[in-house]
Amino acid sequence: MPTIVVDVMPKAELLDPQGKAVTGSLARLGHGAFQNVRIGKRIELTVEGEVTDELLAQAQQVADDILSNGVIEDVVGIEVVE
Amino acid sequence: MPTIVVDVMPKAELLDPQGKAVTGSLARLGHGAFQNVRIGKRIELTVEGEVTDELLAQAQQVADDILSNGVIEDVVGIEVVE
């Protein structure tokens, strides 16, 4: 069954406390090469049958309105896999 | 600056309560076309300079050992963007 993958990240201009904590942990563990970490969501929507343009538009709307909080997050990608 | 994107999802054989809740909400809101929802993490690691094979191997190790919990999660993708 095809899957629509929606990627949601905290807005670039906002502090990401979870990511900051992981950045610090990685540095302490000897992985300072990763200078910054930001953590968002990857949401997989499974659909039955074909992914039509209409369904993809519906997914975009759901991503913007329901799956992400536009005040603090951006939908950075929507793609169909498999 | 190049970014390494690590995608982590709950293991396929495990129930994903957060995803199940969203699946139910979408159905109630008239988006029943999305029959199943699973929610994982998208982690962006920013590095300075070039992404070498060595650094990518280090990212793979960090993804497996630190960024994901192998008991309940799978690293489903590691890719370099920009």
3-state helix, strand, coil in chain B (%, to 5): 35, 40, 30
Instruction: Give the one of A9, A25, A48 whose C-beta lies nearest to B35's C-beta.
Output: A48
| Cβ–Cβ under 8 Å, residues A66 and B29 | yes
Please state the domain count of chain B. 1
Domain with A22 in it: 3-81
Establish if B71 touches chain A: CB-CB under 8 angstroms.
no
Q: Tell me the CATH number at B33.
A: 3.30.1280.10
- A31-61 in b/e burial notation, b at 16+ Cβ within 10 A? bebbebbbbbbbbbbbbeeebeeebeebbee
For B48-72, how does the pLDDT look when each residue is reduced to its tens digit (9 = 90+)?
989 999 999 999 999 999 999 999 9
pLDDT in tens, A9-35: 999 999 999 999 999 999 999 999 999
Residue B62 with chain A: CB contacts under 8 Å? 26, 31, 34
* A78, A53 Cβ separation under 8 angstroms: no
